Amino acid sequence: MRLVVPVAVTVLVGLFSCGAHRGGAAEVIGLKDGHEVTGEVVAEKPNALYVDLGFDILRIPRDQVVRRGKPGAADPATLLAHEPETEASGFFTLGPLRPAPVKELVAKFGEAVVSIETPSGKGSGFIINDDGYAVTNHHVIHGETRISAVLYQNVASGLARRRIENVEIVALNPFVDLALLKLPAQKDLKLSHVVLGSLDDLNAGDGVFAVGNPLGLERSVSQGIVSTRNRNFEGQIYLQTDAAINPGNSGGPLFNLRGEVIGVTNMKATQGDNLGFAIPIYYVKDFLRNRDAFSFDKENPNTGYRYLDPPRRLRVGDPPRALEVSAQEKVSATGAPERSEVP
């Protein structure tokens, strides 16, 4: 079925040229398969664009659109597909975004990458919405409740550090090594957040970059490619990359070259070079959508993924008889009953 779609789109492109421009508002819409459709966008829905070809209306799924622009644009690759969309739950934002140089993407999304600090160590994380929710690795905060976050803000002289204390643990999922935190509201600060991407168009060899705090070296950027998108460890799939990943990068984002987060860096091969791994973004999305199932409550031992064993059942038999008070029981001078034998 997938082989038929490009052919159908190509036929439409060849047929509508005589009628699609009559309104003067035609757009060139680039698709993931490399084809383009030119027509007037008559409706924009959350999941699709409806394009007037002059003789028919074509529905194009949003996830197939990579760019939009006016006919004759000098560099269509620099045009936005559409503005980032909020996920149905409203909890995080989805792409796609336009491709851009890494230095521009770091300047745009770098403020959303934070340092996560606990009494026992330091890792990385990234903010996913305006309310201050942030994702990191479970192993970064495992066994800790005193957590702080350090933000790095762009200023004229470079980066300014801002430390935020009393970060709250919202949810924990040790099975995929993810944790959800919440930074307390800051009246004088508007938080930046990242955009979550997709692996649908990701292939080995595609460029990626990581932002984090390797070995305590704050706000470091490393660039590389996707070595493979299907590395299996103990039944879980990881993205493998040759971008430099070191202790301290854990919990930080792995971006594609559109600035969308496609993974969460969490480990490296200790006996090799350029062998880093990241949790794929679809694990992250599932965790965020089902965060209530992994909610954390420090006052409750039955928290999220961990449930205490129920009390053992008594042996099968007759129900215990009520204790019978012996007729010889005497009351002492103090009013307390003396010890009596229980049958």
Q: Which residues are catalytic?
A: 139, 177, 250
Q: What tokens appear for 5 in the block?
A: 């779609």
Parallel, antiparallel, or unpaired for β 57-61 and 220-233? unpaired
CB 230 within 8 A of CB 269: no
Residue with tokens 């398969």: 33
Q: Which of 103, 213, 111 is nearest to 153 (CA)?
A: 111
CB 28 within 8 A of CB 68: yes
How many Å separate Cα 233 from the centre of its chain? 20
The torsion angles phi and psi of 341, rounded to 5 degrees, stand at -80, 140
Q: What tokens appear for 199 in the block?
A: 């692996």
Instruction: Give SS3 for 281.
Output: helix
CA atoms within 13 A of residue 319's CA, in its CB half-sphere: 1
CB 284 within 8 A of CB 178: yes
Instruction: Give SS3 for 266.
Output: strand
Residue 342 to residue 340: CA distance in whole angstroms:
6
DSSP letters for 109-161: HGGGEEEEEETTEEEEEEE-STT-EEEE-HHHHTT----EEEEEEEETTEEEE
Side chain identity at residue 290, one-letter code: N
CB 262 within 8 A of CB 277: no
Which residues, in sequence order, are CB contacts of 9 under 8 Å at separation 6+? 31, 33, 35, 37
